Structure 1
C-alpha cells in the first residue's frame, strides 16, 4: 500500500511520467516475456517474480463505506458541485489509492484541462479491469500530443487487454515504422518489430491462420539471423499448434530443423507421421535404466515413406532415427538415400554423417563421406577433415594421414588437423615429421593452444632452440615488442602501460602494433595463469642463457615488463633485464637498470656491477648521475672511489687525486694507494705539468705503500715492474719482473683453475729484450708463452 501511495503521489505531482510510473508498477519488457506468452493462462492472477509484479494483477474494489462516498461524489458532479466532488475523490484516493473510480471521475471534472484529464484517465485505465477500447482512445490522445512513448504503452496495454484484436497489433507496428523513419531511439521503448511478430503469433486465434503463418515466418527469419534458435522454435511451435494444416513442406522443413537443433527428436517423428505421410511401426518396452528405475523405451520396427517425400525431409528423418537409436531402420533408409546424386544432396550427406559420427557409428558415416570426397564440388577442407577423423576412429591411420594432409592443403593453419596428424605420426615413430605438423605460419592468424602444445612437444624431444623460438612467440600474446628506445623509457616508468605505448606510436603517425607482432585467434580461450606464465618465462630465460641466445633473452625480459599478469614480479624482471643487457653487451640499457638497482639495493655486488657498466659506456652520460647518487648518501664509503675513477677516466686528474686521497685516509687499503700512484704518474707524463720529478717521486712512494699493504708478492712485483717500464727504467723493471716470475701463484680457484701473472710478466720481458737481446726474448717466449 505504501508503494502504491508513493507511486501515485509522484505521478499526480508530475515527478514521473506515466511511462515511468507504468514501468515501476509492472516492471515488464513488452508487457510480458514473449517466451512465456503462449504458456500463461490469460485469467491467471499476477505473481511476484524476480522481475517484480507481472500481469495479470487483481483489480481493487472499493470497500462499502468508500463506495457510498464515491456514489455521492458522482451525484455532486452531475449536479454541478465540482469542488465538493473533487474533494471527495481526493479523500477516496488518500484512503484507497488503487481504486479506478475516483480517477475516472476526476478525468471528467478536469475536461477543460487536457493534461490533468489525460493523467487521471491513464491512471483510471491502468487500475481498471481490461478495457482495450479505453487504451486505444488514450493512445489516440497521446498521438495528438506527439508523446510516442506513452502512445506505445497504450497500444501495448490494449494488446494485453484484447490480444485477439489484430488492429491493435498493426497500429503498434505502424508506430514503430514511423519512429524508425524519424530515427527515434527505439531501444528506449523496450519493444521491437520482432517482438511484435512473436506477439501476433502467440495472441491471434487459430481462425487467423494465414496471418499467423505470415508473421511466424518473419519472426523465424529474424531469430535465425540473430542466432536465437530457442525463440525461433518457440514461435514456430506456437504457430504449429494453432494451424498445423497450413504448414507446407518448406515450413515443415524449417520447423523440423529447429526441433532437431534442440534435440526434440520424438516430436519430429510425430510431425512426420501427422503431416508428411510417413508411416512408422513401433513398440513400447518397459526396461530398467542404469539407475535401476523403470522407464518406457520406444523401439522403431518399420518405416514406410511416401514416394513424394522430398530428399531434405528424408535426411531429417534419418537424423532423427540415428539419434533415437533405430539403427536397423537407418541402415535400410541409408541404402535408399545413397542412391541420390551427391552433387545435389551433398549438404544433406554431411548432416547425416555428422549425426552418425556423433553417435559413434563411424562405419556407416564413412559410406557417406567416401562419395563426397570423390566429388570435385566437395573437395573442401571441412569434408576432408570429417573423412580423416572418421578413418582415424575406424583405426585406418595410414589412410587418415593422407586425408589430414588434404585438409592442410585447403586450410594450412587448421589446428585440429595439425594436432591429430601430430598424434598419429608420433605414434608411428615419425618424430621429425610429427613436430613439423605443429608448426604454424606466423604471417597468418595463429592458434595459441597449438603453439603451447608445440612447446611441450619440443621440450619433450629436447629441440631446445626451436623450443625457445616458439616459446617466445607464445609469450608475445601478452608481452610487447618495442619499436623505439623511447618505448622502453615508458615501460620503465609506467607499470603495464601498454596503452601508453600504443598511444605513443599513434602520435608518431605509426601503426599502434609492431610489424612483427603475431596475430592470435581472438575466439580462442587459451590463457596462462600468472603462475604458469611466470614459470614458463623463467624456462625461456634459462634456455636462452644456456644456449647463449642473449638477444632473445633481452627481448623476453623487456617484453615481460609490460605483461599485466607478471606485474607482481616487476622487481625480478628488471634484474633479469639488467642481466640480459650485460650478456648482450647492451651497456646503454644495462646502465638504465643498474641505476635503479644500485639505489634500491646498495651492496658491494651492486657497486661492482655499476662500476663494470660505467667502464663500457659513453664517458659523458654518467658523471652527473654519480654526483647526484652520492650527494644523497655522503657517508657511502665507495663515494670517493667511484668519483675518483670517473674523473680519472675523464682526464680530470687533480679532482680524481682529491677523491683518492680522501678514500685512502678512510680505508688505508692497497687499492687506494695504487690508484693514487697511477694518478700521480699519469700527471707526471703530462706536458702541461711542472715539477715532473716531484710527482714521480710521490708516485713511487705510494707504489711502495701499495707494495707493503698488498700481501701478494707476484702482483706487487708485477705492478712495480710495469711502473718502471712506463718510466723507461728498464733495469729495475726487469728486476721486478724476474721477482714476479719467481713468486708463487696468486691463488687457485676451483672454477677458473690457477690464477697468476706469469704469462703477462713473460710477455713484458719479451718486449724489453726483443730489440737488444733477441736470445733472451726468445727464451722467455718459449718458456712461458708457447701453448
Structure 2
C-alpha cells in the first residue's frame, strides 16, 4: 500500500508541474529535498515512538488500556500478560501494568517501569517517571542517573539537563558536576548562549582553583566554538591567562587573531619556534588584553618588539590605574632575561601612591641586583624591611649583597636577633645559619645550631650529661636527672629554655633541618659536634615524634628504626607498646623489630641469662 501511495504522490506532483510553468527538473529537485527532509523526520519519530507490537496485538493492547481506564484491572492484567507472552520486548504492556500499581504498590510500579525503560530506552517520559519514584524513596543518585539516560536520547532538551544537574548537586557529587555542566554546555541550543557561557565559566573557574589548567581551557573552548559572537571580555581574559600559564603561546596568537582582531607576520624557525616579526594591533584595545599580548611576545622572545612595547606602556597607560597589570609584565620580563626593561616599569611603580608596597620594592631590589646595581639594591632591600619587618626572605639576599660590598659586620647585624626578648624567629635564625655557612664562620654556625635545637632539646654540657641522654629513661626523666646533676655541681643554668618560637617549621621541615645539621657535622669530621647534637636529639620529645612519623611513613627504613629504638629504650612504656601492637597489624616485619628492641633493652639493663 505505502509504495503505491508514494508513487501516486510523486506522479501527481510531476503531472502538476507539466501543466504549470515549473520545470520537471526543478520539481524533481524539490521533491527529492522534501523526501529527504521527511525521511529524516520520520527516522527521528521512529526512534522516539516506534512500537515493537505486531499489528495483530495492537488491538489487544488497546483493549487492555481501555479496561484499565474503566477499572477492570484483572482483565487488563490478563491481556497485558498475553501481549508480553507473544511480544516480550514491547514496552506498552509493562507501562500499562506499572500504571495499575502507581498508587497501591510502589515496588511493583517501579519494577514494571524499569522493564518498560529497558524495552523502550528512547522513551524519555518513562525515565522521568522512574526518576520521580527514586526521589520518593530518597535515592537521589539513581534519579539523577535516570535523567542521564534521558539526556542521552534528547541531548538538546534543556529541562532534562537542568533537572539532572540539580539532582547531582543535591547529591553532592563534586567530581561529576563539572562533567554534567560541560555536557549541558555542549548540547543545549545555541540560542541559550547566556547559559552556555555561565556553565563554561563556572567549570573553568573550578578547574582553575584546582590548578587543572588544561581542563579549564577545554571548558572555555566550548563557548568559543559554539557561540563566538556572544563571548565576553572576562572569558577572553581568562583563556589567555590560562594559555600563558601553560606556555601555549601560539594558541594565544590564535585568540588574538580570531577574537581580538590582531594581524601578525610570523616566522617558524627550524627548531619549530615561533617568532613574531611585526603586528597590527586594533584600536581601542582593552588595557588588560594589551598587557597579555605583551607578555605573550615576551615569552616568545620577540626581542626587537619589546622595547617599543614597554615605552608604549609608559606613555599610554596610567600607572596608578593599571599598576597591577605592570607586575605581570615585570614578572615575564625578569623570568625571560630582560631585567633592564623590567626596571623601566618598576621605577614608576615604586614612586606611585597606590603601588609603593613591600612586594613591589622587593621585586625592584631583585631587578636592581640582576642589573648589577648593588648600592641601589641594598637601599631597596632596606626599604622592604622597613615596610614589612616580618618579610624574612629578604634578609639573606641583603646580607649577601653587603658581603660583596665588604660589609661583613653589617651583613651579620642584618641577620642577628635580640634574645633578651626570649623570642626566637626560626626563619631568621635559619637565614643566619645559611650566611655563616657561606662565610665559613663555623664556631658561630654551631652556636646558632645549638640555639635552634634548644627549642626542644636539652643543651648538653659535659660527658656525664651525654651519658644520661643515652639511658633508657624518658625525656622527662632525663631532664630531671640532668637538673639534679647541675644543682649538685652548683650550676644554675636552666635545663630547658623558655624561648618563644616564631614561625615554627613543619615536622617534615624540622626533620630535614636536623638531619642536614648532623650530615654537615659528619662531612666536616667534627665528630664531637655530631655526638653532641645527636645525643641532644635523644632528649627531645619533638625528635621522638619525628622518628615515630618516619617509621610510620617508611616502615622498611632500618636507620629510622634504630633511631626510634634509641629514643624509646623502654619496652614497658605503654604508649610505645600500643603503638607497636597497632603497627604490627599492618606490617608483619614489626614483630621481628619489636623482638630486637626488647633484646636490646635486656642487654643494656643486664636482664639476660647466658645459654
Q: TM-score interval w.r.t. the shorter chain?
A: 0.5 to 0.7
CA contact (8 A) 2:131 2:144 kept: yes
SS at match of 2:278: strand
Shift of 1:372: 0.9
Listed one character per residue, the Cα deviations across residues 436-483 of structure 1 (whole Å, up to 9, x for unaligned) are: 444578958644xx75564354356564564344213544788699xx
CA contact (8 A) 2:511 2:546 kept: no
Asked whether 1:254 is paired with 2:248, we answer no
CA contact (8 A) 1:104 1:121 kept: no
Structure 2: distance between partners of 1:333 and 1:493: 71
SS at match of 1:429: coil
Alignment equivalent of 1:455, drawn from 430, 433, 439: 433
Asked whether 1:284 is paired with 2:267, we answer yes
Structure 2: distance between partners of 1:398 and 1:172: 65
- 2:293 counterpart residue number: 317
Alignment equivalent of 1:203, drawn from 187, 197, 202: 187
CA contact (8 A) 2:342 2:367 kept: yes
- 1:28 counterpart residue number: none
Alignment of 1:418-567 (within 5 A): 418-439=395-416, 443=423, 446-447=426-427, 451-452=429-430, 454-455=432-433, 457-459=435-437, 461=439, 463=441, 466-475=444-453, 516-522=500-506, 527-528=511-512, 532=516, 534-535=518-519, 542-543=528-529, 557-559=538-540, 560=543, 563-564=546-547
Alignment of 1:588-599 (within 5 A): none
- 1:152 counterpart residue number: 144
Structure 2: distance between partners of 1:222 and 1:598: 56
5+ unaligned residues in a row in structure 2: which ranges?
A: 1-51, 65-75, 460-467, 477-496, 551-559, 570-598
Structure 2: distance between partners of 1:248 and 1:288: 37
Alignment of 1:98-497 (within 5 A): 101=89, 111-112=100-101, 113-122=105-114, 125=117, 129-175=121-167, 179=170, 186-187=171-172, 191-192=176-177, 194-225=178-209, 227-278=211-262, 280-285=263-268, 287-289=269-271, 295=272, 297-339=273-315, 340-439=317-416, 443=423, 446-447=426-427, 451-452=429-430, 454-455=432-433, 457-459=435-437, 461=439, 463=441, 466-475=444-453
CA contact (8 A) 1:206 1:243 kept: yes
Q: CA separation of 1:527/1:570 partners in 2, compared to 1, >3 Å: closer, same or farther?
A: closer
Q: CA separation of 1:363/1:517 partners in 2, compared to 1, >3 Å: closer, same or farther?
A: closer
Structure 2: distance between partners of 1:322 and 1:412: 34
CA contact (8 A) 2:416 2:432 kept: yes
Q: CA separation of 1:120/1:421 partners in 2, compared to 1, >3 Å: closer, same or farther?
A: farther
Structure 1: distance between partners of 2:239 and 2:605: 77
SS at match of 1:303: strand
Structure 2: distance between partners of 1:480 and 1:163: 71
Listed one character per residue, the Cα deviations across residues 675-703 of structure 1 (whole Å, up to 9, x for unaligned) are: xxxxxxxxxxxxxxxxxxxxxxxxxxxxx
Alignment of 1:623-702 (within 5 A): none
Q: CA separation of 1:572/1:555 partners in 2, compared to 1, >3 Å: closer, same or farther?
A: closer
5+ unaligned residues in a row in structure 1: which ranges?
A: 1-66, 93-100, 180-185, 290-294, 482-487, 497-512, 547-551, 576-595, 604-628, 634-787
Structure 2: distance between partners of 1:365 and 1:414: 23
Shift of 1:160: 3.1
RMSD over aligned Cα atoms: 4.7
Structure 2: distance between partners of 1:277 and 1:165: 35
CA contact (8 A) 1:356 1:364 kept: yes
Structure 2: distance between partners of 1:514 and 1:252: 57
Q: CA separation of 1:148/1:248 partners in 2, compared to 1, >3 Å: closer, same or farther?
A: closer
Shift of 1:176: 5.8
Shift of 1:536: 5.8
Q: CA separation of 1:557/1:522 partners in 2, compared to 1, >3 Å: closer, same or farther?
A: closer
CA contact (8 A) 2:395 2:431 kept: no
Q: CA separation of 1:128/1:397 partners in 2, compared to 1, >3 Å: closer, same or farther?
A: farther
Structure 1: distance between partners of 2:174 and 2:264: 52
Q: CA separation of 1:494/1:203 partners in 2, compared to 1, >3 Å: closer, same or farther?
A: farther
Q: CA separation of 1:358/1:189 partners in 2, compared to 1, >3 Å: closer, same or farther?
A: closer
SS at match of 1:338: helix
Shift of 1:352: 0.8
Listed one character per residue, the Cα deviations across residues 57-98 of structure 1 (whole Å, up to 9, x for unaligned) are: xxxxxxxxxx99x99999999793767777899xx9xxxxxx
SS at match of 2:512: coil
SS at match of 2:267: strand
Structure 1: distance between partners of 2:141 and 2:452: 53
Structure 2: distance between partners of 1:121 and 1:419: 73
Listed one character per residue, the Cα deviations across residues 381-421 of structure 1 (whole Å, up to 9, x for unaligned) are: 21112111111112222222222222222333435422322
Q: CA separation of 1:471/1:175 partners in 2, compared to 1, >3 Å: closer, same or farther?
A: same
Alignment of 1:719-758 (within 5 A): none
Q: CA separation of 1:123/1:520 partners in 2, compared to 1, >3 Å: closer, same or farther?
A: farther
CA contact (8 A) 1:422 1:435 kept: yes
Structure 2: distance between partners of 1:127 and 1:425: 83
CA contact (8 A) 1:541 1:556 kept: no
Shift of 1:379: 1.9
CA contact (8 A) 2:240 2:252 kept: yes
Listed one character per residue, the Cα deviations across residues 328-369 of structure 1 (whole Å, up to 9, x for unaligned) are: 222222211112211111111111111111111111111111
Structure 1: distance between partners of 2:197 and 2:566: 68
Report the TM-score, using the length of structure 2 for normalisation. Answer: 0.62
Shift of 1:145: 4.3
Shift of 1:262: 2.5
CA contact (8 A) 2:131 2:142 kept: yes
SS at match of 1:398: helix
In proportion to residue count, which structure has more helix?
2
SS at match of 2:192: helix
Shift of 1:109: 5.2
CA contact (8 A) 2:80 2:94 kept: no
Structure 2: distance between partners of 1:426 and 1:367: 27
Structure 2: distance between partners of 1:599 and 1:150: 62
Structure 1: distance between partners of 2:353 and 2:368: 20
Q: CA separation of 1:189/1:349 partners in 2, compared to 1, >3 Å: closer, same or farther?
A: closer
